[in-house]
Each structure stands twice: as structure tokens, then as C-alpha cells.
Amino acid sequence: MKERLHKAINGRSVDYTPVVAFTQTGTKDLMTESGASWPDASYDAEKMAALAISGFERAGFEAVRVPFCLTVLLESLGCCVGRGETLRQPSITSHPYNSRKPQEPSPVPDDLIVGCRIPVVLDAIKIIREKVGDDVPIIAGCEGPVTVASDLLEVTTFMKWFIKYPDAVRDYIALGNTAVKTYASSLFEAGADIVALLDPVASPDLLSPKFFESFIVPEYRDLSRALSGDTVLHICGDVTPILGYFPQTGFTAVSIEEKTSMAEAKEKCSSAIRVVGNVSTSSTLFSGTPQEVYNESIRALEDKTDVLAPGCGLAPLTPIENCRAMVRARNDYFK
């Protein structure tokens, strides 16, 4: 199973396309079946592992994915985080550098990976490996550098600075990149097979393609070179305007939503970077029927997705049967 996934995201031949989630997998159904629920499963390593494993054992995804939010690294960098509820992930409640004019950020702390919840995630990865064995791949999610910069500042401040103080924004993205290198490296060291870098604020829905090319691609390239394992970049929204830049990032694969055409993404990314996705998490997995999920999964397979996956993080009320329909579609496609 692990070998198949590594081959698929590295462009090598596989007997059939894997079905995994590179984005968050915690749902109410899985919480019920595993006995591990939010918010505890975001703060306790044993419960985090149990809920994550249920995505593999119960939903049928062919990998285990942790954690369930985009606040773990940011909390260690000084953001205040609300604990969340059973159907709501932890969320950022205040930002350490939110001000009208730029201020120099503090360096990334030397003890970054021993603070706040990073040890919980690292321990959960070790628990998962012990429980599922060596053949089941572990995917660890991590905030991307642009999202780190945005949340350190607060997104409105980030967007204003982007226009008025672009050099300051560049400094915060570089800081985010440094922090991501440290955290992502620790995820690999703990036993993760793949690190999924989620950078929703890098979307062309928010930032111009020109800014993406000049500010962000060099940071991505530096980040990918620093990491020792397979990396999958996920950016939300319609990323069609920046598809041509993904091969320059050095990441192993890019994860796309249904707003971006899989066929076009495959064409523009060529063989330089693999493309995974892109079953809709909102209109199909969350609110559609299993048959609709099945049909959309078949279309993604026909468009040659390298890995069949949800296009974004699962909504907490996503029915478990809809997740299973993805696996059923893949199985039927390769009969």
C-alpha cells in the first residue's frame, strides 16, 4: 500500500490508483466509530491516532492522515488558538503581529517542536505506525508558509501589507518557510511518509499569479529542497491561473479542488509534478449521494488523477458512505 502511493505520486506505474485523503479526515461518523472525538482528538495523541486510523479502517482511505486542523504550527509561533468543539476544529483567535504598520517578527524559536501541540502530533504519528504497521502510509498535514505569514498577521492585515508593504510580507513568508522546514522535518523524523503542505492563502482567489511567481515559488523551491521526503502541496480554490508554476516548486505532487480541471492540470503540470484530487468536498462528499460521489470519482479517474482524493478537507458531517463510494468507484474502474 505504501509503495503504491509513493509510486503514484512520483509518476511511476501502479496496478491501480490509490484512494487517500491528503487533507483533514475527521468526521462525526468516524468519531462515533472510533470513540475519539474533537476537541480532545486534537489535543491527545492517543485519541488523535484513533480518529486518524478510523479514516483508514472505517472509511477505506488507503493512508492515515493527521492532524485535523491548520493551527498546530501557528500556535507554537504565538497565535492564540480556541480549542474548538465536537464539530468545529481548533481555530485562531488572535494574531501576534496584527498592526497597521510592519514590525519585525521574532525569529523562529529554537525549541519550536517541543512547544504546544507539536509533540502531540509527533506522538500520534508514532502511535499510528505501531498500530497499523509499516505498509500503511502516514500523511502528516502542515500549514504552508504563506498561510503561516497570513495568520501571524491576520488575513486583512496581510492583504493590506501585500499592497502597501510587499517587502514586509516577503519577510513574514520567509519566516513561515523557516518554521515549516523545522516542523515538516520533525514530521518525517517521527515516521510520516508524506507531508501535505496546506497553503490556502496562496490561492489566486487572494493573491495575484504574478505575486505567486515572484514571491512564493522561490520559497516553495527552497522548502522542497530542504525536506527529505515526498511532499504534496494543496492550495484551495481555482488554481488554473498558477498551474504553470507548480512544476517549478519542486514538490512531489499538487492537490487540487474540483474548481480546477483535472485534465487541464495534468496537461499544464506535465510530468514535472503529479496531480491528485479532486472530488468535491462541499457539493458532493458533504451534501451529495454515494452515487454522485461514485460518478465524480469515475470522472477524476478518467481524467487521469494520479491519486483519487477529496479536493479539500472533509466537512465534519460528511457521511462515511460517501467516502466509501470513492473506493468503490476506484475498484470498479480497475476491474
12-45 pLDDT tens trace: 999 999 999 999 999 999 999 999 999 999 999 9
Alpha-carbon distance of 159 to 150, in angstroms, equals: 8
pLDDT at 214 (0 to 100): 94
More confident residue, 298 or 159: 298
**318: closest CA among 277, 278, 289, 276?**
289
All three cell numbers of 156, joined, read 486583512
Residue 136 confidence (pLDDT) above 90: yes
Whether residue 66 has pLDDT greater than 80: yes
Supply the DSSP string of 210-245, one letter for each residue.
Answer: HHIIIIIHHHHHHHHHH--SEEEEE--S--GGGGGG
Is the pLDDT reported for residue 104 higher than 90?
no
For the cut 90, the answer to whether the pLDDT of residue 99 exceeds it is no
The CA distance from 316 to 38, in Å, is 10
Whether 177 contacts 214, CB under 8 Å: no
101, pLDDT greater than 90: no
Please write the tens of the pLDDT for every residue from 301-331. 999 999 999 999 999 999 999 999 999 999 9
CB atoms within 10 A of CB 121: 26
Is the confidence at residue 47, as pLDDT, over 90?
Answer: yes
The CATH number covering residue 184 comes to 3.20.20.210
* 170-to-73, 99, 103, 150 alpha-carbon distances in Å: 19, 16, 13, 11
Average pLDDT over residues 85-98: 94
Above 90 in pLDDT, residue 102? Answer: no
Q: Based on the structure, what is the number of domains in the chain?
A: 1
Q: Does residue 193 surpass a pLDDT of 90?
A: yes
User: What mean pLDDT do residues 245-260 have?
Assistant: 97
What is the per-residue pLDDT for 271? 82
Average pLDDT over residues 126-145: 98
Question: Strand pairing partners for 276?
Answer: 255, 307
pLDDT at 165: 92
The arithmetic mean of pLDDT across residues 213-238, rounded, is 97
Q: Which pLDDT belongs to residue 84?
A: 96
Confidence at residue 98, expressed as pLDDT on a 0 to 100 scale: 77
Report the mean per-residue pLDDT for the chain: 96
**Grid cell of 124 as nine digits:** 500520534
pTM of the model: 0.97
Q: Compute the distance between CA of residue 179 and CA of residue 112 in angstroms, rounded to an integer.
A: 8
Question: Concatenated DSSP letters for 83-109?
Answer: --BTTB--EEEE-TT--SS--PPPPPP
Q: Which domain holds residue 106?
A: 2-333
Phi (first) and psi of residue 108, to 5 degrees: -60, 125
